[in-house]
Structure 1
Amino acid sequence: MLHREDVSAALGRFERIPADRPDLKSAAVAVTLVEDAAGTAFLLTRRAATLRGHAGQWALPGGRADEGETPGETARRELFEELGLGLGPDAELGLLDDYATRSGYVITPVVLWAGAADDLVPNPAEVGELHRVPVSTIDIEPRFLTIPESDDPVIQLPLFGRFVHAPTGAVLYQFREVVLRGRTTRVAHLEQPVFAWR
């Protein structure tokens, strides 16, 4: 079982690197930790098939920041809009490194503690599937592929018998490294697959 205090302490020791990319739009995602009978889990969605961008892809709840929002405010607002889960600022445990996407965003991952989170109501306009994924599931080595379109490796994180790519795969990999392994591992250089560049 992963405890709130352990996650908070690990993030407190971690010196995050923000991305200095004023040319990109600001966004945030929520790494939302929940308490399950089987232990601590995180919330992972599959984007609705009807969405214009990145339909059907695995994603952490999140989206573009509104004017004047902090990353924590953006992540908590998006979590509420997508899953009906309202959390206050006291749920924020810390931030991971920014990740600049090929589609024009700088994503700030915000780690949140949601407790039992029993009353989740996925918004069908945005969420096709919702999963409570045991944190232990991502304590596994990812694959790194080379592609002709980039000098940087593409990350593939094994999950559900398939692979989760960056940015979600990169964020979850860094969470594993920082929180579960106590290692400062950077992921901003990890590449997205070509299908996610749009």
Structure 2
Amino acid sequence: MMRPFDDATRRNIADACAAFARLPEEEAQPALKRAAVAVALTAAGEGDETALLLTMRASHLRAHRGQWALPGGRCDAGETPVEVALRELDEELGLRLTGADVLGTLDDYPTRSGYLITPVVVWAAESAAIRPNPDEVASVHRIALATIERDDAFDFIAIPESARRVIRFHHQMSLIHAPTAALIYQFREVLAGRHTRVTELEQPVFAWK
């Protein structure tokens, strides 16, 4: 379904986020380090369809270099997940947004590397202002929401190392795994009005180290 980048779409997505019954905070795992990512919505470009921003991490980074990711990072002392998501959008992409641009938050996702990631859905109206920081970002990609809503966009596979299913997002010629794939998948489900949980979706074995 084509979703134009306009006020009506913003309201619809904000309403979908508000209707989503997020898992309560007390179910979070206190031993994990807190982090947040931005599910940043902007214009796809031609036709002004709504898209989410996905980055390719710089190849020289110490951790997760060259991987697909949503903009985000670790929470500093005293920061809320919303503050982190907004700060990281500024640091990584030069997008300066405020709390007024936040549409909602999704479930926290625990990673194999010891983080608890909070996805923050934001509306980035000034997409022309995107300036990737080469210290962190190799490239920025606009993924139309119609792309993540395709029936064949995601699949789930079994692996011998875990009883949990590995989720994969098929994007162009790439396979994007959890946590990024899991968070995008839950956002897609929220758009459809479904309260689908993703915390039990597994990461590939290479992410366990």
- Which TM-score band (shorter chain)? over 0.9
Q: CA deviation at 1:160?
A: 1.6
Aligned residues: 197
Does residue 23 of structure 1 match 2:31? yes
> Deviation per CA, 1:108-140, whole angstroms, max 9, x where unpaired?
000000114101111111111111111111112
Is 1:191 aligned with 2:202? yes
Aligned position for 1:168? 180
Q: Structure 1: any 5+ residue segments left out of the alignment?
A: none
Identity of aligned residues (%): 54
Q: CA RMSD in A?
A: 1.1
Give the TM-score normalised by the residue count of structure 1.
0.96
Is residue 2:45 matched to residue 1:33? no
CA distance in 2, matches of 1:91, 1:70: 15
Residues 60-100 of structure 1: CA distance to partner in whole angstroms, max 9, x if unpaired? Answer: 00000011111110000011110111001101100000000
Match status 1:144 vs 2:156: yes
User: Residue in 1 aligned with 2:107?
Assistant: 97
Partner of 1:11: 17
Q: C-alpha separation between the residues in 2 aligned to 1:138 and 1:161?
A: 15
Q: 2:126 & 2:61 partners in 1: Cα distance? A: 29
**Which portions of structure 1, spanning 4 or more consecutive aligned residues, are displaced by more than 6 angstroms?**
none
What SS does the aligned partner of 2:127 have?
Answer: coil
Q: TM-score, normalized by length of structure 2?
A: 0.91
How far apart, in 2, do the equivalents of 1:47 and 1:104 lie?
19
